[in-house]
Structure 1
Amino acid sequence: MLEKKFIRVYTKFKLHFYRETFARFQNREASLTTVESFAMEAIYALGNPTVRQFAEFMGISSSNAAYKTASLVRKGYLIKERSKTDAREYHLVPTQKYLDYYNVSADYVHIVMERIKKRFSAEDVTKIEEILSVMSEELMSEVPL
């Protein structure tokens, strides 16, 4: 039962994101493909990785990662910033254009979190935070951030 309820919540977050994304971006010339959207979410979550770090995390070749990121740069969702510690490396940095796209999802998460704070006691909210922390830090070790 727990698993079904979690999948239902996760699915609702995804469906909300998909609906809002289609509504806002269906007529945009440079909207993201599905694979590009996944790539940008990973880059954003990894916190400005290098192309090599992105490739390693995604399990793809460096040349494939370079190709995908070049497309995202052309579309204006990503910039490459030269590393301050190694001038041979570039970090992948999402642009404001991507952040506006991403905020479709983040805004809804914020709305749901505010509803949780109103619906549940402070103790329950603290327990939810604790459970989410344990899930992220201990139970999902295959996905390091």
Structure 2
Amino acid sequence: MLERLFEEVYVKFKLHFYQEIFERFQMREASLTTVETFAMETIQALGSPTVNEFATFMRISPPNAAYKVNSLIKKGYVRKVQSQADKREYHLEVTEKYQSYYNISSDYVKTVVGRMRQRFSPEEQEKLTEMLQVITSELMPEVSEGIRLP
């Protein structure tokens, strides 16, 4: 039962995102491919990774990562910013163009959390918060390292 409900919540968040994307691009062609969308979500979650950090996390070769990143730069979703600490290093940053795209997903999270605050008592919210902290910090080690959500 727990597995089914957790999966249902996850799927509903994804489906809402897909609904919004299709609605926004109904009159024009979407500018990000599915793989590019995954890449952008990863870059966003990693904060400001280098191309090599992105490649390592995604388990792809650095040349393949560079190719994907260059495509995203050309489309205006990512920019390379020179590191102040090491001038040889460049970090990937998402642009305002991507932020507006990404906000489709984060806005719905805020809507659902707002509804949760209305529906659940402060004690229930505190317990859920505690459980989610354990899930993200202890039970998902495969994807926990390096993640810096906005």
Same fold per superposition (TM over 0.5): yes
C-alpha deviations, 1:47-68, integer Å up to 9, x for none? Answer: 0100000000000011000000
Give ranges in structure 1 of 5+ residues lacking alignment.
Answer: none
Q: Distance in 2 between matches of 1:63 and 1:26?
A: 34
1:27 Cα deviation from its structure 2 partner:
4.0
Could you tell me the percent identity over the aligned residues?
60
1:28 Cα deviation from its structure 2 partner:
4.1
Q: Distance in 2 between matches of 1:23 and 1:87?
A: 42
Contact persistence 1:55–1:65 (CA under 8 A)? yes
User: Which residue of structure 1 aligns with residue 36 of structure 2?
Assistant: 36
Q: Distance in 1 between matches of 2:27 and 2:47?
A: 29
Q: Does 1:9 align with 2:45?
A: no
Residues 43-122 of structure 1 aligned to structure 2 (within 5 Å): 43-122=43-122
Moved >2 Å (runs of 4+): 25-30
Normalising by structure 1, what TM-score?
Answer: 0.97
Residues 27, 84 of structure 1: alpha-carbon distance in 2 compared, 3 angstrom cutoff:
farther
Give RMSD over aligned pairs: 1.0
Normalising by structure 2, what TM-score?
Answer: 0.94
Q: Distance in 2 between matches of 1:3 and 1:102?
A: 27
User: Which residue of structure 1 aligns with residue 23 of structure 2?
Assistant: 23
Helix, strand or coil: the match of 2:142? coil
Q: Distance in 2 between matches of 1:94 and 1:27?
A: 25
Does 1 or 2 have the higher relative contact order (CA < 8 Å, sep 6+)? Answer: 2
Q: Distance in 1 between matches of 2:26 and 2:60?
A: 28
C-alpha deviations, 1:82-135, integer Å up to 9, x for none? Answer: 111111111000000100000000000000000000000000001111111000
Residues 101, 87 of structure 1: alpha-carbon distance in 2 compared, 3 angstrom cutoff:
same
Give ranges in structure 2 of 5+ residues lacking alignment.
Answer: none
Letter in 1 for 2:97: K
Aligned length: 145
